[in-house]
């Protein structure tokens, strides 16, 4: 099968063993222990396509490998070493990135897939795309808890002041 699709789980808050209710996105973002990986926010769609060796070489643009990865949830196991192209729809434009699976962790309900990006160009682009995804997830979370009339600009500024400095980057 050459096409595997995975859609992130909804961002509905979940109850933890401690009895507190937390938004799964923020728990993953804050408690992540995977250095060099950006966690794709829960609730945002992501499409995954396996690239065969010919596709990988034909479409390679940058020979210098990026040093930043992306983690996302998938209902399907994807073997480490598999070359993927992921597509993230964002504000009417589909952003595509290539990389190799380097991490697979089963968390009981789904797999957490860690993909190392194939180029520094993709690493720089994905950091910006993922920040926008995270800000929009934060806005969705705030609207759920504080009401639909919250200012997107205020929420974006709040996210930037709270989370931007700890957002993974490549060096």
Instruction: Read off the pLDDT of residues 151-161 as tens digits, 9 standing for 90 and up.
Output: 899 999 999 88
Measured in whole angstroms, how far is the alpha carbon of residue 41 from the centre of its chain?
A: 5
138 belongs to a structural domain: yes
Q: Is 86 a member of any domain?
A: yes
More confident of the two residues 31 and 122: 122
Tokens of 116: 């190392």
Between residues 84 and 68, which one has the greater pLDDT?
84
Would 144 be classed as within a structural domain?
yes
Residue 118 lies in a domain: yes
Closest by alpha carbon to 163, among 46, 25, 66, 10?
A: 25
Neighbours of 114 (CB within 10 A): 21
pLDDT in tens, 78-122: 999 999 999 999 888 999 999 999 999 988 888 899 999 888 888
* Average pLDDT of the chain to the nearest whole number: 75
Looking at residue 56, its pLDDT comes to: 52
Question: What pairs with residue 105 in β-bridges?
Answer: 112
Give the residue numbers spanning the domain of 22: 3-166
Q: What is the domain count for the chain? A: 1
In a domain, 171, yes or no: no
Residue 3 in this model has a pLDDT that exceeds 80: no
Residue 12's pLDDT is 30
pLDDT of amino acid 8: 38
Tell me whether residue 69 is in a domain: yes
Residue 50 lies in a domain: yes
User: How high is the pLDDT of residue 34?
Assistant: 63
- Mean of the pLDDT values across residues 141-148? 88
The pLDDT of residue 26 is above 70? no
Average pLDDT of the segment spanning 9-22: 32
Look up residue 90 and give its DSSP letter: E
Q: Does the pLDDT value for residue 24 go beyond 50?
A: no
CA within 13 Å, CB half, 110: 13
Has residue 10 got a pLDDT over 60? Answer: no
Using one digit for the tens of pLDDT, what is the confidence trace for 41-62? 887 889 999 998 655 555 554 4
Residue 97 within any structural domain of the chain: yes
pLDDT interval class at 68 (50, 70, 90): confident
* pLDDT value at residue 130: 92
């Amino acid at each position: 099968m050459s096409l595997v699709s995975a859609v992130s789980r909804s961002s509905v808050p979940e109850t933890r063993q401690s009895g507190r209710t937390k938004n799964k996105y923020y728990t993953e973002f804050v408690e992540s222990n995977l250095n060099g990986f950006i966690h794709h926010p829960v609730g945002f769609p992501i499409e995954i396509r396996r690239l065969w060796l010919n596709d990988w070489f034909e479409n390679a643009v940058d020979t210098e490998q990026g040093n930043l990865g992306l983690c996302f949830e998938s209902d399907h196991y994807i073997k480490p070493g598999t070359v993927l192209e992921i597509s993230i729809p964002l504000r009417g434009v589909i952003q595509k990135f290539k990389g190799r699976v380097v991490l697979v962790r089963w968390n009981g309900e789904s797999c957490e897939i860690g993909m190392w990006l194939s180029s520094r160009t993709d690493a720089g682009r994905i950091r910006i795309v993922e920040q926008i995804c995270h800000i929009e997830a934060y806005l969705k979370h705030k609207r759920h808890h504080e009401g639909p009339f919250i200012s997107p600009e205020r929420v974006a500024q709040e996210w930037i002041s709270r989370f931007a400095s700890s957002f993974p980057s490549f060096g």
